[in-house]
Homo-oligomer: A and B are copies of this chain.
Amino acid sequence: MNITQEAVLKALSTVEEPDLKKDLVTLNMVDKISIDGNKVSFTIILTTPACPLKELIRKRCEDAIHEHINKKVEVTVNMTAEVTSTRFGTTPVLPKVKNVIAIASGKGGVGKSTVTSNLAMALTKSGAKVGLLDADIYGPSIPTMYGVENGKPEVTEVDGKNMILPIESLGVKIISMGFLAPAENAVVWRGPMASKALTQFLGDTLWGELDYLLIDLPPGTSDIHLTLVQAVPVTGVLIVTTPQKVALADAIKGVAMFRQPQINVPVLGVVENMAYFTPAELPDNKYYIFGKDGGKELSRRFGVPFLGEIPLVQDIREGGDNGVPAVQDADETTVKAFEGLAQGLAQQVAIRNASQPKTQKVEIKV
């Protein structure tokens, strides 16, 4: 029996995408089928290059061909990714950005900027196009964490409008107040000025095409947060917390804000940072300095995915201070923790895009 394109499609239509709960053919994920005698090759278009199910899906495709066509077919599954989006056509701001993801906490110092910078790096390494907007106008950390404290963005004219060019570091496009104000001065501004800066970072920056634009939010639930959801439809928010009570109390407020009916931004998941400390001399000991499992409890309470825990590791802090996110070159545990988080987040974005309505910009005045 000759192998046909139809037979391949029929076989692959028995393979379900585990997250999206539909088959690969229905999801339009199969492309470039080519048949050469006993050899079959095709491409699976994943919803994100950081897809944690890549190998599982590859295996299932091979099995399906073997089962439904013939055990002896030589199958080559190529993998590519096209990040999904629900943002296109929703807004003139960030028109070519597929997903806008806010990283928030409520509480200060829980590691929003650290998580954001490592996420940006991990997603970039997986092959995605990533931007990082540092929305902490008063205490911008991203320039330090990417080793570009002296970055001075250029301005270029596009269609008669002056646009800021983001600074690129380690493959990530970055904009931050740290590029515009001298490090030794305070930006002593009331809310409206800070909001104006954010609006420019969003609308007057030449971001170009991005799969993910990560927004590193400041602590609190105030002007910057409101301006963000009023300026652009936000795909979803990642909540960073540390395990202790005072951090959870503020994370709860963070979730509550994004879930307010008039704001209504999906919470994609919770990550617990600074979960425990392990001294090099006592590799089996875990010191839960800030408490235990607080992030897990939070995710249960709000019925949102728990996307993992990041231990308290000197390398992570040093990566931040030295300008190279730890996921780039730290020890395996640390790298795995951040890569796992990036995969989990990208997965949640794909699920969100497949199953939930578009986020709307917040129109009413809050």
Residue pair A113, B312 in contact (C-beta under 8 Å): no
Q: Does A245 contact B (CB under 8 A)?
A: yes
Q: Is the CB of B257 within 8 A of A186?
A: yes
Tell me whether A287 and B279 are in contact in the complex, defined as CB-CB below 8 angstroms, given that A186-B257, A246-B141 are known contacts.
yes
Known: A220-B139, A290-B317, A317-B244. A226 touches B109 (CB 8 A): no
Copy number in the complex reads: 2
Q: Do the beta carbons of B223 and A191 come within 8 Å of each other?
A: yes
Mark each residue of chain A from 185 to 205: 1 if its CB lies under 8 Å from any CB of chain B, else 0: 111111110100000000000
Cα A107 to Cα B114 in complex, Å, equals: 13
Does chain B have a CB within 8 A of A148?
Answer: no
Contact among B184, B254, B256, B277 with A287 in the assembled complex (CB-CB below 8 Å) = B277
B residues less than 8 Å from A277 (CB atoms): 277, 287, 289
A249, chain B: closest CB distance, angstroms = 6
Shortest Cβ distance from A263 into chain B, in angstroms? 8
Residues of B within 8 A of A257 (CB): 186, 188
Assuming A139-B220, A187-B253, A253-B139, is B320 touching A244 (CB within 8 A)? Answer: yes
**A225 within 8 A of partner (CB):** yes
Interface residue total, chain A, C-beta cutoff 8 A = 59
- How far is the CB of A195 from the nearest CB of chain B, in Å? 8
- Whether A314 is near chain B, meaning CB under 8 Å from some CB there, is yes
A residues 263-285 in Cβ contact with B at 8 Å = 263, 277, 279, 281-282, 285
Q: Does A186 lie within 8 Å of B138, measured CB to CB?
A: no
Return A181 CB to nearest CB of chain B, in Å: 9
Task: Knowing A108-B108, A245-B144 are in contact, say whether A139-B250 is a contact too (CB < 8 A).
Answer: yes
Complex-state Cα separation, A145 to B263, whole angstroms: 31
Q: CB within 8 Å of B: which of A214-229?
A: 218-223, 225-226
Inter-chain CA distance A281–B281, complex, in Å, is 10
Task: Give me the 6 closest cross-chain CB pairs, A-B, nearest first.
Answer: A109-B109, A108-B108, A191-B191, A186-B257, A138-B220, A245-B321
Interface set of A (CB-CB < 8 Å, partner B): 106-110, 113, 138-139, 141, 144-145, 183-192, 194, 218-223, 225-226, 244-246, 249-250, 252-254, 256-257, 260, 263, 277, 279, 281-282, 285, 287-291, 312-314, 317, 320-321, 366
